[in-house]
Amino acid sequence: MPAIASFAYPDAQGVFDQINKQFYVSPEVLTELTKAFLDEIALGLSEYNHAMAMIPTFVTGVPDGTETGTFLALDLGGTNLRVCEVVLNGDKTFNLVQNQYKVSEALKHGEATALFDYLADSVDAFLTTHATTDYTSLQSDPSAHTSDAVHLGLTFSFPVEQTALNSGKILTWTKGFSAKHAIGNDVVKLLQDAFNRKHMHVKCVALVNDTVGALLSRAYTSGGCFLGAIFGTGTNGAYLEDVDKIRKFAGSAAAANGGAMVVNTEWGAFNNSKSHLPVTPFDNAVDRLSINPGYQIFEKFISGMYLGEISRTVLLSLVDATPKSLLFKGKATPSLNQHYGLDTRFLSEIEAAWIDTGATKGSVELPPLGKPSFESELSDAAKAKLTAVRKVILGPHGLGYKSEDEVSLRDAAIVRWVCALVARRAALLSGVAVATTLIQTGRAVLPGQEGSKALRERNEKIGVGVDGSLVENYPNFNTILRESLRLLVGEDVEQRVNIGLAKDGSGVGAALCALQALKQGL
């Protein structure tokens, strides 16, 4: 499969320098990206039918941890399908019972009715085997409706144009899904129809994006939050916006009510035109061969689904370089040759091996990768770290090589360098997304604009809830994200940003939305 270009070179180090330059993101580029991000936010708030859709969620507030109730949550995301029972205790804590169900590739790409019938079957199985609560006993909240139906909040981690708290039209599939005859239909109706076909007494009363769920969950457990962000298989952000800034709402009942509303940005689609993002040939290859070329471009730069694939394309180009291979003596394994054959977990394990090995934590000095005497110049500390990296390459989540003879310490150094380049760029760009929402909501300004206007919450902590495998597990991801944030909004604001993990945002957030729907009589 002719996926990528390889290098013809007179000087090996020149190849490594060229790749390094392509993945470098300067402070100036970060600033310009933030300005472009703000422009796309303004456009999405003003008009419908833009890639970065800025979807109003009809969630008009965030919890403070005192809410109570018992609800089901159904969470369909990029990796797992979960059914949860969530008990909100009213003291910033909750109890959770859950079970996971595998979504097959056939269901992801088959008919929508088959997919939603499977969702209904999974809920039915959960009620049979895991239910611990009488879901009709909601009298503890006098505003809640009591009926024979089990009340369920749906976390649907795909782009939706939401028209009410319990209604939303599917805009597009992402994260490897492409179920037929779903786009353009109401996702709540598709699910409710599946429940009805099976004569189940379950009512889907709320629709919530996983990012909105992260915001609500973090707000519930911390007592306040303005932004929820996902940095995992995919990426997205949702934040609390002033309704008067949502200009496409002009003349509507929501506009008349004023106040604030959670907006689901769909920022994975930022800069689909590639006019500002620092695109490399490897990014173009990954995009071109994806299931949705030309879409979700920002997501393809920073999300876990794609970082392994970007790294694989770089590594393979070095294997194929001429007149002499620059990696693995020109030998490629099935994992390197296979589309999406390299998982982002591999990158994480490589970085952990590099950081945690030896008495010297973190980085050590290495000779230039292209230097003929590279290995003879390695310090003992560097050899120890690269030996640990080589062990990961040869390990169960590695590249498929069988012996140390196939992987030199220079090879290990090149692999670690590529993984670090790709991951660092992802974390820096993730910081752009967080900084943009701070600026959009008046909590920060761009460099050089200090003092131009009064900042909101100038002396208060700023709550940000995050979820996803990258922020939770990838070594130094949060540190580099904060480095980007500091460059863009200044150290004073960055230090006041309290970034905390959203505890099961997709489950608890859906439960909180279900509670809100019942209070609104839905």
Judge if the upstream peptide bond of residue 10 is cis by omega within 30 degrees of 0: no
Question: Does the active-site annotation cover 496?
Answer: no
Stated length of the chain: 522
Question: Does the active-site annotation cover 482?
Answer: no
- For residue 347, pLDDT over 50 is answered with yes
pLDDT in tens, 118-173: 999 999 999 999 877 654 443 334 344 445 688 999 999 888 888 889 999 999 99
Question: Does the active-site annotation cover 157?
Answer: yes
Dist. CA 442–CA 317, nearest whole Å = 44
- For residue 473, pLDDT over 90 is answered with yes
Dist. CA 223–CA 172, nearest whole Å = 34
User: 476, exposed or middle or buried, with CB in 10 Å at 0-12, 13-18, 19+?
Assistant: middle
Give the pLDDT of residue 401: 96
Dist. CA 264–CA 297, nearest whole Å = 17
- For residue 361, pLDDT over 70 is answered with no
Dist. CA 236–CA 434, nearest whole Å = 10
- For residue 419, pLDDT over 60 is answered with yes
Lookup: tokens for 290: 């994806």
Which of the following is catalytic: 75, 186, 210, 343? 210
Residue 169: φ, ψ to 5°? -90, 130
- For residue 412, pLDDT over 60 is answered with yes
Lookup: tokens for 307: 């970082």
Higher-confidence residue of 376 and 210: namely 376
Lookup: tokens for 334: 């099935």
pLDDT in tens, 218-253: 999 998 899 999 999 899 999 999 999 999 988 887
Give the pLDDT of residue 521: 73
Question: Whole-model pTM?
Answer: 0.86
Give the pLDDT of residue 142: 35
Which of the following is catalytic: 122, 157, 311, 317? 157
Helix (H) or strand (E) run with residue 99 in it = strand 94-101
Give the fold, CATH level 3, of 55-265+504-520: Nucleotidyltransferase; domain 5 (3.30.420)
Name the residue among 276, 274, 283, 340 with its Cα closest to residue 309: 340
- For residue 266, pLDDT over 60 is answered with yes
Which of the following is catalytic: 82, 218, 425, 443? 82
Sign, CA torsion 25/29/33/35: positive
Give the pLDDT of residue 146: 45
pLDDT in tens, 67-101: 888 889 999 976 679 999 998 899 999 999 999 99
Residue 322: φ, ψ to 5°? -125, 155
